Structure 1
């Protein structure tokens, strides 16, 4: 009998609350929480103290708790975030003299960006145990090339052509679905990575903090490699990959025409 009275009192109090129109499972618990975590997992609208607030609380939490969703969408978010930042503000003209100056070189230089992302995408598309090997070889050779660049090794006449050739090569491999072993990709990546690094070293601003500058472009290259690996999980249709490869080839040809004008 006492149990029945208690239930009746709780029902009367619930009828006066702003959430009274909500289904029973949505009503506040004893601690005052608006809903359980399980409701969020099932993408059920969560009521708040003023009534329903559908599509907000549960949507935000769902994005972060759903690992499959985040794994597919994080690369898209990164691309959009990079596009929002004004490229003009991070041009190669030496904006900053430390970490930021190094970071912006590969991230906001379209030739570096396409080559690094393209290599990572290329090596991750085919099933293998070491998809990270080509990207690490590229970054390692890039550091060596940057050291050569700041040391006065003069290969600048070859640097820009080989940087564009790397974009052309990786784009062509993507367009043709050309498959190689990770070691072969690593050798090719290391070869081109040296010239990318040499460009970073030659273009390093005067008076720059060398360790911070190196840390900056290394971090940028590793992030771009991670972006390429993420894209490989997202791009399931071969036609889309081939189109990206064709666009890279066209960019390399267009840039080469401007280079030799």
Structure 2
């Protein structure tokens, strides 16, 4: 846990270094920055990715890293589909539904084997990744862009893992479920809106 806190502090300290320091440089050289910022620009993406980390923490064991890695791996595939212009049906609707579903599995404390949890989050990640890829800025480096949104996703998963692994005594389970409930409600609001 101490290493996770140290890593989180290091990442937070490094974030100001991503600020634009050179004017007149086109987006073609800043795919990484655009990709890194993308997951932070939508509540749907942030809630899903933090939620995946939170659920993985509650599952424990190998799920703590396999579930987030499954999300990230399938998200890259979805992102490449989006970059290539290959359409998927109902992307925005399924993103909202995935946020609600991730919130529900946390709220209901759903316990499933790690491969099933990985498949579930992978199905969610396909649509989140597609949305990222489809929004690749003109002239941005696509590989830098993918690397950026993968790193941002990993940080959001780590935040969820950190929250899920934090110890709050007797209130721990209640707080985790309350967070899941909030994610589910937000997902339903996104779905309805």
TM-score interval, normalised by the smaller of the two chains: 0.7 to 0.9
Structure 1, unaligned runs of 5 or more: 1-66, 86-94
Equivalent residue number for residue 174 of structure 2: 239
1:165 corresponds, among 97, 101, 108, to 97
Instruction: Report how many aligned residue pairs link the two structures.
Output: 175
Question: Is the CA contact (8 Å cut-off) linking 1:117 and 1:228 kept in structure 2?
Answer: yes
Name the CA shift for 1:102/1:71 in 2 (closer, same or farther; >3 Å). Answer: closer
1:235 and 1:223 map into 2 onto residues whose CA distance is 20
CA offset at residue 126 of structure 1? 2.6
Structure 1 ranges of 4+ moved more than 3 A: 70-75
Is 1:187 the equivalent of 2:119?
yes
Equivalent residue number for residue 35 of structure 2: 102
2:167 and 2:186 map into 1 onto residues whose CA distance is 21
1:135 and 1:181 map into 2 onto residues whose CA distance is 14
CA offset at residue 127 of structure 1? 3.0
CA offset at residue 207 of structure 1? 1.1
Q: How does 1:122-133 map to 2 (within 5 A)?
A: 122-133=55-66
TM-score by length of 1: 0.61
SS at the partner of 1:204? coil
CA offset at residue 73 of structure 1? 9.4
1:246 and 1:73 map into 2 onto residues whose CA distance is 29
SS at the partner of 2:136? coil
Is 1:211 the equivalent of 2:147?
no
SS at the partner of 2:74? helix
CA offset at residue 108 of structure 1? 3.0
Question: Is the CA contact (8 Å cut-off) linking 1:103 and 1:219 kept in structure 2?
Answer: yes
SS at the partner of 1:180? coil
Deviation per residue, 1:11-62 (Å, 9 max, x gap): xxxxxxxxxxxxxxxxxxxxxxxxxxxxxxxxxxxxxxxxxxxxxxxxxxxx
2:79 and 2:106 map into 1 onto residues whose CA distance is 27
Equivalent residue number for residue 151 of structure 1: 84
Question: Is the CA contact (8 Å cut-off) linking 1:72 and 1:233 kept in structure 2?
Answer: no
Structure 2, unaligned runs of 5 or more: 17-25
TM-score by length of 2: 0.81
Question: Is the CA contact (8 Å cut-off) linking 1:134 and 1:182 kept in structure 2?
Answer: yes
1:100 and 1:144 map into 2 onto residues whose CA distance is 20
Is 1:175 the equivalent of 2:107?
yes
Which one has the bigger helix percentage?
Answer: 2
